Amino acid sequence: MRNIKLVLQYDGTNFCGYELQPGKRSVRGEIEKALHKLFKIKTRIIGVSRTDSGVHAIAQVVNFKTTNQIPTKRIPAALNSCLKDDIRILGAEEKGKEFNSRYAAKSKEYEYLIFNGAIIPPSVRRVAWHIKYKLDLAAMKEAAKILVGKHDFSSFCASRSDDKNFVKRIYKLSIKKRKLAVFSGEKIDLVSVRVKGDGFLYKMVRNMVGTLMEVGLGNKITSDIKNILYGRNRRLAGRTAPSHGLCLIKVHY
């Protein structure tokens, strides 16, 4: 039995998310259908992150087991021929039989993009949250420092979560301006919120971004973040940032 690791990238716009949902198009569903078409047998994949509806990924990692002897280097092209163009297999690697993409991961990194200005360019509307009013990035950076470290993040976990352990460690949470190159080399100014942690609760990153945005708009102050964190109550935190601004960018093993 072979254990194959895949690295994939997708535009989450037209997916209900990573996980299977009856009657809806999911990332897992599309990959498993492609594997069935390729191998002629039902194959289950395990993913490192169950991204929400609309969330993107440039480095999602999954693994599956198979007895098929197709050369590993041919798997990406073979699967891509069975997939629509909003999802691509970037690479394949044969791993040891015990490898599990979810449980072997040491940390994950996400990036959230915000366009802060009056009129959002159409070229970034599917990957960035549009905030019209000027954000105080210095205040957001100070507030973000409070969230770094090992904490109970109950206040940033959405309802309907099946999480049992709300303690997670955030290794890095940076907020900075960055430029995104689009058509004809045009570069658009965006605000990047990048977070690296050992694990994340349901909608945790989006709830953190939504709360930090409230600080940036002056609706909350830095000290409020500490009260929210230690209050362990989702109602204390800010809004949930829209899904389309979020992207899984790296998994560390």
Q: Is the dihedral of CA 102, 9, 35, 19 positive or negative?
A: positive
204-216 vs 222-231: helix crossing angle, rounded to 10: 150
- Is residue 224 flagged as an active site residue? no
- Cβ distance 206 to 51 under 8 Å? no
Distance between CA 57 and CA 12 in Å, rounded? Answer: 7
Q: Helices (DSSP H) in 87-203: which residue ranges? A: 137-147
Residue 193 exposure: Cα atoms within 13 Å on the Cβ side: 30
Catalytic residue, chosen from 11, 52, 152, 224, is 52
Residues catalogued as catalytic: 52
